[in-house]
Structure 1
């Protein structure tokens, strides 16, 4: 009975593998598609259009948006937000923006065992600075 079930599973796995291998490669272009792409690139070059489009600039978020997305789940500010972490309203009476930025990036150094996740590398330097300044500026 068990050997029969194993054989069925192996057959189903092999069939699934063959089915997956039989799909055309989405990165493969036919001769006609390659020729059309080559002609389009040549025409663009002749017109002075760059061959590679520039990537769009990332959308810059305000410190308020960053706080709402990343901090407000646990922290309150001006009466709004979560209650898992401390209320940050008036934090500037106890800390400056450099300290706040440091806590955001390495909370375990300042408050071990609280469960606050590190946000190191999740903000640009400017975003981190602006976020810390915003939090400290709320009275």
Structure 2
């Protein structure tokens, strides 16, 4: 007979933030560390005007993004050779292991909900500094 506790339903208020390896601050959300989730992570992100992530990939998890507000661009691909424009109302899918680098080129913040298939979202982030020069400043 197992003595482990069953997961419980929880409500979180995204008040605190944490610094992601990617170069952005994320609002704390659903993760193994906050609620004990075993298969997903979900949090809020605000990219300030002119904000730029570091080139990176997520080795072992997929990412889904819903853009709540604002507009951004994201370079993606092995050499960040592809660029997509996103705006409020867009859904974005990023497969595991795909290099990417989002940038807010506007003068207004971008707000988004981010969900990932790994409850320890920062564990499989790999920075790719060799790709930084592929995206213009």
Under a length normalisation based on structure 2, what TM-score does the superposition of the two structures give?
0.22
Higher helix share: 1
Higher strand share: 2
Where relative contact order (Cα < 8 A, 6+ residues apart) is larger, the structure is: 2
Under a length normalisation based on structure 1, what TM-score does the superposition of the two structures give?
0.21
